[in-house]
C-alpha cells in the first residue's frame, strides 16, 4: 500500500508528529509529546528527517475511501492503518483504527463519522475505535465489527451512535499502560 491519494496534502497537519510514540534507532518520541523538530512552518529538519518520517503516511493520505475532508487536524480523526495479519473473514487486506484526537464525543456523534463506521462494518472492513493514552502511555482500541454493531447499521444512525458512545466510554476508562521504548539515544520528545 504505497500509493497516496492524489490531491491530498498534509498542509498544517502534524498529528503524526505528536500523537503516536516513535521508537526507531534514529528517532524516539513518547506518545502524546510534540516532536522537538515541529515548528510553525513544519519539520525543522525536513530534508534530513529520519526514514520513518519519510515513509509514514496516515490512512487519510493513503485511502480514497476516507472522506476528503478528514484531514486529521481538521476532523479530529487520525486514521491509523493496520496491514498484515488481517484475519481472513474480512473483505479488505487492511484494517483501520479511528483514533480520536479532537473532541471525542463530538466526533463520534457527527453523522459523517457514524456513516463512515456504518460503511466499514456493512462492507466487512476491519475497523476499531482508538483513544490516545496520556503522555508516554499506550493507546487503547476496541473493535467495531461485532454482531450488535452490524445489526445497528441496518437499523439507524441513532443505534450506531449509541454503540459508539458506549465504546468510547469503555475506552476513556481504560487502564492505560506505559509504552516501554526499545530504542534510546535520540529522544525528540518535548
Which of 5, 23, 24, 45 forms a contact with ligand SF4 (CB under 6 A)? 45
Q: Give the whole-angstrom CA distance, residue 74 versus residue 59.
A: 14
| Contacting ligand SF4 within 151-190 (CB under 6 A) | 188
Which of 23, 24, 26, 38 forms a contact with ligand SF4 (CB under 6 A)? 38
Which of 49, 109, 157, 174 forms a contact with ligand SF4 (CB under 6 A)? 49
Q: DSSP readout, 62-77? A: H-TTS-TT--HHHHSE
The piece of 38-46, 87-95, 111-119, 154-162 that touches ligand SF4 (CB under 6 A) is: 38-46
53 in contact with ligand SF4 (CB under 6 A): yes
| Contacting ligand SF4 within 64-83 (CB under 6 A) | 71-72, 78
Cβ-Cβ contacts under 8 Å for 96 (sequence gap 6 or more): 59, 63, 79, 80, 81, 82, 120, 125, 126, 127, 128
62 in contact with ligand SF4 (CB under 6 A): no
Closest CB 5 distance from ligand SF4, rounded Å: 11
Cβ-Cβ contacts under 8 Å for 166 (sequence gap 6 or more): none
Let me know: does 129 contact 171? Beta carbons within 8 Å. Answer: yes
Which of 33, 58, 63, 77 forms a contact with ligand SF4 (CB under 6 A)? 58
The piece of 30-38, 84-92, 137-145, 150-158 that touches ligand SF4 (CB under 6 A) is: 30-38
Closest CB 104 distance from ligand SF4, rounded Å: 17
- DSSP-derived 3-state class of residue 163: helix
Q: How many residues bind ligand SF4 (CB under 6 A)?
A: 21
Q: Give the whole-angstrom CA distance, residue 41 versus residue 151.
A: 46
- Residue in 20, 108, 127 with CA at minimum distance from that of residue 65: 127
Amino acid at each position: 500500500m504505497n500509493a497516496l491519494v492524489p490531491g491530498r496534502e498534509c498542509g498544517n497537519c502534524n498529528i503524526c508528529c505528536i500523537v503516536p510514540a516513535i521508537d526507531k534507532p534514529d528517532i524516539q518520541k513518547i506518545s502524546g509529546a510534540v516532536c522537538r523538530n515541529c515548528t510553525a512552518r513544519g519539520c525543522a529538519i525536513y530534508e534530513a528527517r529520519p526514514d520513518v518520517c519519510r515513509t509514514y503516511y496516515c490512512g487519510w493520505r493513503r485511502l480514497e475511501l476516507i472522506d476528503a475532508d478528514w484531514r486529521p487536524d481538521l476532523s479530529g480523526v487520525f486514521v491509523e492503518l493496520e496491514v498484515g495479519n488481517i484475519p481472513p473473514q474480512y473483505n479488505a487486506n487492511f484494517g483501520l483504527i479511528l483514533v480520536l484526537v479532537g473532541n471525542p464525543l463530538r466526533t463520534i456523534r457527527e453523522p459523517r463519522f457514524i456513516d463512515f463506521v456504518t460503511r466499514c462494518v456493512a462492507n466487512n472492513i476491519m475497523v476499531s475505535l482508538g483513544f490516545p493514552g496520556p503522555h508516554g502511555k499506550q493507546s487503547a482500541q476496541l473493535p467495531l465489527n461485532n454482531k450488535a454493531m452490524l445489526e445497528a447499521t441496518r437499523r439507524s444512525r441513532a443505534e450506531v451512535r449509541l454503540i459508539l458512545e458506549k465504546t468510547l466510554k469503555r475506552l476513556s476508562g481504560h487502564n492505560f499502560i506505559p509504552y516501554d521504548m526499545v530504542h534510546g539515544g535520540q529522544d525528540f520528545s518535548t
